[in-house]
Amino acid sequence: MRISQMTAEQKAEYMTTAPVLGLVSQMAVPTIISMLVTSFYNMADTMFVGRINTQSTAAVGVVFSVMAMIQAIGFFFGHGSGNYISRKLGAQEFEDARKMAATGFFSAFATGILFGALGLLFLRPLSILLGSTGTILPYTMSYLRIILLGAPFMMSSLVINNQLRFQGSASLAMIGITVGAVLNIILDPLLIFVCHMGVAGAALATVISQVVSFFILLRLSMKGGNFRISWKNFTFSRYYFFNIFKGGVPSLCRQGLGSVATVCLNTAAGVYGGLYADAAIAAMGIVSRITMFANSAMVGFGQGFQPVCGTNYGAKKYERVREAFFFCVKVSFGALLVISLAGFIFARPLVHLFRNDVDVVRIGKLALQLQCAVFPLNAWIVMSNMMLQTIGKSLKASIIAAARQGLFFLPLIFFLPKVFGLLGVQMCQTISDICTFTIAIPISVSVLKEMKKKI
């Protein structure tokens, strides 16, 4: 029987008794596919827009920070509710899990409506604040306006996706995400070039695909032994919101600060790019998409680890949590090492693939090579963050989550460009990753030792 068809009781038994390495791999395959497909359609979006002009490419990079914030809020409710659900599944406290599923979903949808309305109300000043230059601004507003309309569906889709994944139904989550991504890739050239909508067509393709994905995921969440989302289970209880906050804050720190970091990156690229400001913004946006795609398989692998981690931690089977963690770190490090070598060697053609502009390629090539140099360090950083967040170590998880794009990146993006100019912008993420790695090791090792004592 497939795990997505099992009852909650059967899932709890299976997740806490099946061999760990095989279980993590089984959970990881659908999530890896979901992450790769999602990242690919984000890259395809940039590639198609890159055929218009440099300003449109830069606009997509500028709006990426808003999409990162939408994802941050979606992950806040999705991880906050999903982590709780996985632990309650292991403890076999199913009624609590049902209430959390409904509370997380409806809270995210309401927040998405508010987020979109405020964004549309302040569309022009928001576009300027995000780092748009005068030449990029019209394209940014055209793209952002449509994206904000889809905010409620984007946020709540992420909640359903993560709740399914934390219940072990990663294959169902994969179906909903993949269908939306494929639809986006089909609609992009149709709306951009055939319908002559330009950058607005790319945004509309994204929103349509997200809405379709939302309804598919909502339907799939009602299948098998998954905890169905029902309004009658929604509760304003402080207890559930506290647990969403506790489990979701690390995601909000990671994604939210990532959004702020993107704004600062675009601003710095525009200021220190000089005569090549638009090219610098476009180049850094392209590099962000490439590294996100390269990172997606590892993140997907970690997402396969999370339901195993949460369920077994809830069942007090700490030895299984440790075994799964070290397995994921080893596999991720090896994969990232290969990817980083390929990215370093083929940096120029990779950037050129997105935009045939000599200045964009020149700036993006060096930025990508610098990031590839330390890319394998993300194996320990990301897996540590996922483990700490899933087992409820919210403060420690938040510190690691905030470190990469907040504690280190934000000060560096203000300081390094003043000393090194555009080179400071290009090297900022590299130095931030090294600093984050140095603090992630002692934090996660202390928790691993704590679990070892409990065994």
Encode the chain (455 residues) as per-residue pLDDT tens digits: 566 566 767 777 888 888 888 888 888 888 888 777 777 766 667 678 777 777 887 788 788 778 888 988 998 998 889 888 888 877 788 888 889 989 999 999 999 999 999 999 999 998 888 878 788 888 899 999 999 999 999 999 989 988 888 887 778 878 888 888 888 888 988 998 888 888 888 889 989 998 999 999 888 888 767 788 888 888 888 888 998 988 788 777 777 777 677 778 878 888 887 777 888 888 888 888 788 777 877 888 888 888 888 889 888 899 999 999 999 999 999 999 999 999 999 999 988 888 778 888 999 999 999 999 999 999 999 999 889 988 888 889 888 888 877 889 889 988 999 989 989 989 998 999 999 999 999 999 999 999 998 87
Q: Residues 389-408: pLDDT tens digits?
A: 888 888 898 888 888 778 89
> 95: burial class by Cβ within 10 Å (0-12, 13-18, 19+)?
exposed
- Contacts of residue 393, defined as CB under 8 A and 6 or more positions apart, other chains included, come to 447
Residue 53 — φ and ψ, nearest 5°? Answer: -165, 175
Closest to 242 measured CA to CA, from 396, 83, 109, 93: 83
CB 289 within 8 A of CB 68: no
Dist. CA 90–CA 13, nearest whole Å:
8
Dist. CA 340–CA 346, nearest whole Å:
10
Could you tell me the residue ranges of all domains in the chain? 20-454
One-character DSSP codes across 219-242: HHTTSTTS----GGG----HHHHH
Helices and strands of the chain, counted as H and E runs: 19, 0
Dist. CA 333–CA 23, nearest whole Å:
19
Dist. CA 132–CA 266, nearest whole Å:
8
Token look-up 């905010």 returns: 151
Tell me the torsion sign for CA atoms 182, 183, 186, 188: negative
DSSP category for residue 342 = H
Instruction: Tell me the pTM.
Output: 0.72
Helix ranges, 167-254 (H): 170-189, 199-220, 238-251
Q: Residues 56-73: pLDDT tens digits?
A: 877 887 887 788 889 889
Radius of gyration of the chain (CA): 21
Which 3 state secondary structure label does DSSP give 60?
A: helix
For 18-45, letters b (16+ CB in 10 Å) and e give eebeebbbbbbbbbbbbbbbbbbbbbbb
> Does an H or E element contain 156, and which?
helix 151-166
